[in-house]
Amino acid sequence: MKRREFIALVGGVAWPIKVGAQHSAIPVIGYLFLGSQRSIQPLIEAFQTGLAGLGYTEGKNIRVLYRFADGQTDRLSALTIELVALGAKMILTAGAASIEAAHKAAPTVPIVSLIGPDPVMMGWAKTYARPGGMITGQFFNAGSAKRLELLKELRPQATSFGLLMSSTNPATTRIKNVAISGAR
C-alpha cells in the first residue's frame, strides 16, 4: 500500500464499511492497548477531542472499538482478531507488544502506533525511505548510540548508565543489543 493511500485510509476517505442495512457507512477504528482503560483515560479523552476537532463524533460518523488487555500480553492477539472481526479497518495502538501482536494477528490491517520501537530494527519495515508493510506512527530507538552520546554529554563524570526494560517487551533484546554496541 502506498503512503498516500494509507493516509487516505486513516483519514476515513477510503475505508467506510457497511454497518447494516439501516445505517450509513462509517469508518471503524480499533483501539488496542496493553494496559487498562483507567490507566490511559486521559489519552482516550484527548483522542476523542482530536476526533471531534476533525468533525468526527463517535457513534454518529465514526466508530471506535476499545479493547484493553489489562497488562496481559497474551490477550493482545485475541483482542486484535476480535477488533477485525467487528469491522475495524485500522488499529490504533502503542508499544512494542501491542504493535507486534496486532501485526502478527492481522498483517493486512493498517496499524497506527502512538509510540513504539524503531520499526526497521524490529523487522516491521524494510527501510525508512520505503517501509513496505502496514505500520506507521511515532517511533523511537531507545537504545541508539546517539542517546548514549547525549547522556555522556549530560553526565561526563558518569562511568556507567542503566537501562530499565521489561522482559516481556518484544523490543528488549534488540534495544539492549543496540545500547551495548553503542557503548563501545
Query: Whole-angstrom Cα distance, residue 22 to residue 40?
Result: 34
| Maximum distance among all Cα pairs of the chain, rounded to whole angstroms | 69
Query: Whole-angstrom Cα distance, residue 110 to residue 14?
Result: 12
Provide CATH code, domain 3-140.
Answer: 3.40.50.2300
N-to-C CA span, the chain: 39
Domain ranges of the chain: 3-140, 143-184
DSSP state of 54: T
H/E run at residue 147: helix 145-154
Q: One digit per residue, pLDDT tens: the chain, 184 residues? A: 454 554 444 444 334 444 444 444 899 999 999 999 999 899 899 989 999 999 999 999 999 999 999 999 999 999 999 999 999 999 999 888 999 999 999 999 999 988 888 788 788 888 877 777 788 876 665 545 666 677 778 888 888 777 666 677 666 676 666 666 655 5
- Spatial contact of 146 and 110, defined as CB atoms under 8 Å apart: no
